[in-house]
């Protein structure tokens, strides 16, 4: 919450102008709203009836009455209205136009109580330059820029400036992801191309919207897992300040910043309050999950950013919004206490409420839940200068399609939304995205159900009486793996909901769900990695959240017993070493898409490597060929040289067993 009134002078001047230019038409509801410090203070917020109707549809279809009741609680929450393309201004097949919503906002406004209308400005030329799922309609060209100004911002500004709407406080989220992409992704050609248009477009939007006294500009400031590192945060604050200085009103054109837009980064990591805490001799911020980023959550990031912004010249009244629509992380998988492990990564992984496999997993992440309900001036975080918690991303609207879906909006298929994709951006892990997702912005009912179930704080109270679905099955593991099948088993859900069976997912639900705690997936392809999850069901058809995903690689038929030989050597220094491996195909058939597995005995950790894709789970290391790459096939008698840099503490014993596709290799 910010303390100081901003633009007092400008606001009163604007009011005086308003009185001259906009004759009042007699009701208090239409009186011009002065520009205040925090528009959310003492205000209600607009509930989007189109979105509420989609939620009501889901509630009608939910066979479980308790779940339907929760959905009907959610339905009454305010969410933002996105202007995600030019046609959204007048309305299109996906929704009603801006005037429709503003007219409904006038009807929702109670006399004497201000109302905030959350609006999202999202159509920059070259939109979503580092991803594909929300690419837009305007190219990153001068012509695209001209259309952005005349066909997008100008008509929006003209509607917002209609005196009819002067009594509504309009809070505009300005261009999610745009300026943050210029900090971290400027080496990406699409972002380089878009950069000048992002700066110019944001400046243009700020100028046009700030000129309307009842509009408040909140510039998107990514989230802690994106800009939290000092090396990103400082340059981001400078970029925001630089863009502000190009506007006519300077810093005053920006009322505040909004973080976590459409993301699932937690507001607070309750069991990791101190990033400097050491476990096993290392600060927890140095864990794999936090990668030396001290900002673990949005409370950290907003406080960090606020200080940097004020140092750059922004006024002390600058306020912060956090999009809490999907960052709840409740449900059975939520930890209830800090871990007692003495291993750094285990400690962090068991303590964090953010259950994603990587903080970069932005697309429809499984396991997320609805977060804090929208509220003004949330108490308890003075250093964060919060104006409000808001729901910018309407829960239930997809982040991107999990398969390629043709469309006329410019949106493309981003593999980060594909649950079967092992992403290099996520440390070569599966994306953890929800299966069967429609195009970005479209209603995604199964995700909505999960968001409601995993809400934290829980919706409608708490305790076991609030539980409407079975808890998540745990301990998913693979038994016998052949080239075409994987035998799975897991631990039953034990809770107060009668579990009647389990659905097994591999991208989509597999046919033949199981009434026991085991299942064999068949019809698979040799030497291919599949990600399995399992969900429990009850008699009413309620389904739990997905279990932790289990990646399993089917065995490779082309590596017969005794078909490989490994030579391993390590060059060690105090805590580091270089491991070199020669992998020879000693069989008489080519070895394709090889996958070498071995274990370290002394806690050694692979940091990065070459000529193979490296990953490590616990002590088990996998180095695999990139399919289609130059060394993906080893001819009979042929050898590939692969290697990595690693760390060790003390002893650095060489692995004693190596296997390719489950077959042991000879050593030497
Ligand atoms: C989509 C928009 C949509 C918004 C809100 C974005 O990811 O690209 O089309 O309006 O999400 O759901």
Question: What is the fold, at CATH topology level, of the domain defined by 474-553?
Answer: Immunoglobulin-like (2.60.40)
Q: Is the pLDDT of residue 651 over 80?
A: yes
pLDDT > 70: percent of the chain: 91
Residue among 490, 488, 552 at smallest CA distance from 525: 552
Please give the average per-residue pLDDT across 421-426, as a whole number.
96
SS3 assignment for 206-268: HHHHHCCCCEEEEEECCCHHHHCCHHHHHHHHHHHHHHHHHCCCHHHHCCEEEECCCCCCCCC
Instruction: Choose the CATH number for 564-667 among 2.60.40.1220, 1.10.3720.10, 3.40.50.300, 2.60.40.290.
Output: 2.60.40.290
* φ/ψ of residue 345, rounded to 5: -70, -35
DSSP 148: I
Residue range 530-563, pLDDT digits in tens: 999 998 876 555 677 788 889 998 877 666 676 8
**Among the listed ranges 185-194, 457-466, 536-545, which one has the minimum average pLDDT value?**
457-466
**Residue located nearest, by CA, to atom 11 of ligand 1:** 441
pLDDT of res. 541: 56
Same fold, 474-553 and 564-667: yes
- Tell me the pTM: 0.68
Average pLDDT of the chain? 90
Q: Are 306 and 318 in contact (CB under 8 A)?
A: yes
**Among the listed ranges 8-17, 44-53, 99-108, 144-153, which one has the minimum average pLDDT value?**
8-17
Q: Is the pLDDT of residue 13 over 60?
A: no
Q: Is the pLDDT of residue 28 over 60?
A: no
pLDDT of res. 1: 31
Q: How far is the CA of 89 from the centre of ligand 1 (A)?
A: 14
From the alpha carbon of 128, which atom of ligand 1 is closest? 8
From the alpha carbon of 85, which atom of ligand 1 is closest? 9
CA distance 661 to 555: 5
DSSP secondary structure of 557-594: TT--TT-EEEEEEEEE-SSEEEEEEEEEE-SSS-EES-
Residue range 351-371, pLDDT digits in tens: 999 999 999 999 999 999 999
Q: For residue 469, what pLDDT band results from cuts at 50, 70 and 90?
A: low
pLDDT of res. 83: 98
Q: How far is the CA of 448 from the centre of ligand 1 (A)?
A: 15
Q: How far is the CA of 432 from the centre of ligand 1 (A)?
A: 20
Q: Is the pLDDT of residue 260 over 90?
A: yes
Q: How far is the CA of 284 from the centre of ligand 1 (A)?
A: 34
**Residue located nearest, by CA, to atom 3 of ligand 1:** 441
pLDDT of res. 643: 97
Q: For residue 500, what pLDDT band results from cuts at 50, 70 and 90?
A: confident
pLDDT of res. 538: 65
Query: What are the residue ranges spanned by the domains of the chain?
Result: 44-461, 474-553, 564-667
310's tokens: 């004020």
Please give the average per-residue pLDDT across 128-143, as a whole number.
96
Torsion, Cα of 585, 591, 593, 594 (10° steps): -30
Residue range 240-258, pLDDT digits in tens: 999 999 999 999 999 999 9
Q: How far is the CA of 370 from the centre of ligand 1 (A)?
A: 17
**Among the listed ranges 107-121, 129-143, 456-470, which one has the minimum average pLDDT value?**
456-470
Q: For residue 172, what pLDDT band results from cuts at 50, 70 and 90?
A: very high
**Alpha-carbon separation of residue 508 from 187, 245, 505 (angstroms):** 35, 50, 5
Q: For residue 4, what pLDDT band results from cuts at 50, 70 and 90?
A: very low
**Alpha-carbon separation of residue 292 from 193, 267, 287, 426, 593 (angstroms):** 30, 19, 7, 16, 34
Please give the average per-residue pLDDT across 10-37, as a whole number.
49
pLDDT of res. 456: 93
DSSP 365: B
Question: How many Cα atoms are found within 13 Å in the side-chain-facing hemisphere of 110?
Answer: 5
Please give the average per-residue pLDDT across 306-314, as a whole number.
98
From the alpha carbon of 82, which atom of ligand 1 is closest? 10
Q: Is the pLDDT of residue 21 over 90?
A: no
Q: For residue 513, what pLDDT band results from cuts at 50, 70 and 90?
A: confident
CA distance 547 to 551: 12
Q: Name the most confidently modeled range: 288-292, 330-334, 552-556, 557-561.
A: 288-292
**Among the listed ranges 205-209, 574-578, 663-667, which one has the minimum average pLDDT value?**
663-667
Question: How many Cα atoms are found within 13 Å in the side-chain-facing hemisphere of 423?
Answer: 21
**Residue located nearest, by CA, to atom 5 of ligand 1:** 441
Residue among 529, 573, 534 at smallest CA distance from 554: 529
- Ligand 1 residue neighbourhood (C-beta within 6 Å): 82, 84, 134, 262, 393-394, 397, 399, 440-441
pLDDT of res. 9: 29
**Residue located nearest, by CA, to atom 4 of ligand 1:** 441
Q: How far is the CA of 84 from the centre of ligand 1 (A)?
A: 6
Residue among 642, 640, 652 at smallest CA distance from 605: 652
pLDDT of res. 536: 85
In terms of C-beta distances under 8 Å and separation of at least 24 residues, what long-range contacts does 601-604 make, across chains too?
601/651, 601/653, 601/655, 601/656, 602/648, 602/649, 602/650, 602/651, 602/652, 602/653, 603/648, 603/649, 604/577, 604/646, 604/647, 604/648, 604/652
pLDDT of res. 12: 33
Q: Is the pLDDT of residue 340 over 60?
A: yes
User: Would residue 255 show up in a list of annotated catalytic residues for this protein?
Assistant: no
Q: For residue 445, what pLDDT band results from cuts at 50, 70 and 90?
A: very high
Write the class of the CATH domain 44-461: alpha beta
Q: Is the pLDDT of residue 206 over 50?
A: yes
Q: Peptide bond before 600: cis, by omega within 30 degrees of 0?
A: no
Coil vs helix vs strand at 545: coil
Q: How far is the CA of 64 from the centre of ligand 1 (A)?
A: 29
From the alpha carbon of 133, which atom of ligand 1 is closest? 8
By most ligand atoms within 8 Å of CB, the mutation choice from 152, 441, 448 for ligand 1 is 441
Burial of 656 (0-12, 13-18, 19+ CB in 10 A): exposed
Q: How far is the CA of 399 from the centre of ligand 1 (A)?
A: 7
Residue range 111-133, pLDDT digits in tens: 889 999 999 999 999 999 999 99
From the alpha carbon of 80, which atom of ligand 1 is closest? 5
pLDDT of res. 489: 95
Q: Is the pLDDT of residue 31 over 60?
A: yes
Q: For residue 11, what pLDDT band results from cuts at 50, 70 and 90?
A: very low
Q: Are strands 319-323 and 256-259 parallel, antiparallel or unpaired?
A: parallel
pLDDT > 90: percent of the chain: 76
**Residue located nearest, by CA, to atom 12 of ligand 1:** 441
Q: Which residue in 64, 84, 177, 354 is the catalytic one?
A: 177
**Residue located nearest, by CA, to atom 10 of ligand 1:** 441
Q: How far is the CA of 326 from the centre of ligand 1 (A)?
A: 14
Q: Is the pLDDT of residue 10 over 60?
A: no
**Residue located nearest, by CA, to atom 9 of ligand 1:** 441
Q: Is the pLDDT of residue 398 over 80?
A: yes
From the alpha carbon of 398, which atom of ligand 1 is closest? 12
Q: Is the pLDDT of residue 218 over 50?
A: yes
Q: Name the strand (E) or helix (H) holding 143.
A: helix 142-147
């Amino acid at each position: 919450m910010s303390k100081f009134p901003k633009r007092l002078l400008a606001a009163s001047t604007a009011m005086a102008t308003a009185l001259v230019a906009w004759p009042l038409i007699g009701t208090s509801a239409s009186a011009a709203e002065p520009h205040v410090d925090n528009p959310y203070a003492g205000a209600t917020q607009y509930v989007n009836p189109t979105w509420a109707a989609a939620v009501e549809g889901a509630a009608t279809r939910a066979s479980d009455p308790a779940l339907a009741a929760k959905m009907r609680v959610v339905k009454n929450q305010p969410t933002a209205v996105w202007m995600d393309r030019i046609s959204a201004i007048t309305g299109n097949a996906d929704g009603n136009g801006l005037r429709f919503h503003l007219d409904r906002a006038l009807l929702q406004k109670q006399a004497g109580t201000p109302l905030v209308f959350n609006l999202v400005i999202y159509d920059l030329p070259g939109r979503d330059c580092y991803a594909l799922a929300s690419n837009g309609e305007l190219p990153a060209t001068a012509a695209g820029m001209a259309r952005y100004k005349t066909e997008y911002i100008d008509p929006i500004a003209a509607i917002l400036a209609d005196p009819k709407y002067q009594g509504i406080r309009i809070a505009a989220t300005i261009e999610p992801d745009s300026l943050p992409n210029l900090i971290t992704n400027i080496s990406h050609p699409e972002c380089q191309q878009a950069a000048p248009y992002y700066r110019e477009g944001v400046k243009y939007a700020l100028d046009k919207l700030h000129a309307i006294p009842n509009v408040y500009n909140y510039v998107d400031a990514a989230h802690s897992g994106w800009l939290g590192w000092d090396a990103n945060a400082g340059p981001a604050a400078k970029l925001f300040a630089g863009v502000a200085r190009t506007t006519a009103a300077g810093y005053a054109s920006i009322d505040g910043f909004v973080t976590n837009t459409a993301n699932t980064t937690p507001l607070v990591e309750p069991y990791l309050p101190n990033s400097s805490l050491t476990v096993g001799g290392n600060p927890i911020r140095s864990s794999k999950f936090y990668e030396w980023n001290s900002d673990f959550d949005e409370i950290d990031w907003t406080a960090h950013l606020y200080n940097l912004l004020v140092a750059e010249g922004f006024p002390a009244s600058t306020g912060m919004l956090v999009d809490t629509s999907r960052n709840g992380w409740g449900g059975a998988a939520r930890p209830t206490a800090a871990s007692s492990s003495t291993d750094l990564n285990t400690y962090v992984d068991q303590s964090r409420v953010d259950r994603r496999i990587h903080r970069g997993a932005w697309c429809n992440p499984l396991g997320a839940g609805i977060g804090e309900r929208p509220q003004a001036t949330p108490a308890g975080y003075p250093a964060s200068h919060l104006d409000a918690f808001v729901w910018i991303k309407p829960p239930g609207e997809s982040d991107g399609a999990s398969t390629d879906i043709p469309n006329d909006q410019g949106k493309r298929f981003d593999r980060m939304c594909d649950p079967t994709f092992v992403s290099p951006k996520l440390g070569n892990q599966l994306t953890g995205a929800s299966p069967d997702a429609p195009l970005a912005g479209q209603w995604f009912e199964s995700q909505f159900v999960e968001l409601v179930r995993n809400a934290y704080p829980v919706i409608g109270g708490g305790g076991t009486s609030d539980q409407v679905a079975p808890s998540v099955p745990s301990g998913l593991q693979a038994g016998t793996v052949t080239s075409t099948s994987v035998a799975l088993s897991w631990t039953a859900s034990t809770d107060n909901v009668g579990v009647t069976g389990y659905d097994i997912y591999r991208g989509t639900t597999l046919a033949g769900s199981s009434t026991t705690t085991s299942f064999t997936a068949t019809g698979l392809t040799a030497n291919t990695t599949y990600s399995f999850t399992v969900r429990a069901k009850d008699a009413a058809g309620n389904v739990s959240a997905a279990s932790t995903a289990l990646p399993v690689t089917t065995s490779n038929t082309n590596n017969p017993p005794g078909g490989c030989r490994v030579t391993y050597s390590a060059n060690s220094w105090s805590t580091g070493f270089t491991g070199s491996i020669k992998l020879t195909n000693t069989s008489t058939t080519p070895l394709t898409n090889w996958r070498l597995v071995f274990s370290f005995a002394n806690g050694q950790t692979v940091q990065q490597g070459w000529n193979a894709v490296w990953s490590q789970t616990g002590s088990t290391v996998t180095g695999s060929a990139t399919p289609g790459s130059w060394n993906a096939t080893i001819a009979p008698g042929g050898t590939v040289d692969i290697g990595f840099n690693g760390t060790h503490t003390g002893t650095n014993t060489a692995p004693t067993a190596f296997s390719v596709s489950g077959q042991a290799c000879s050593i030497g």
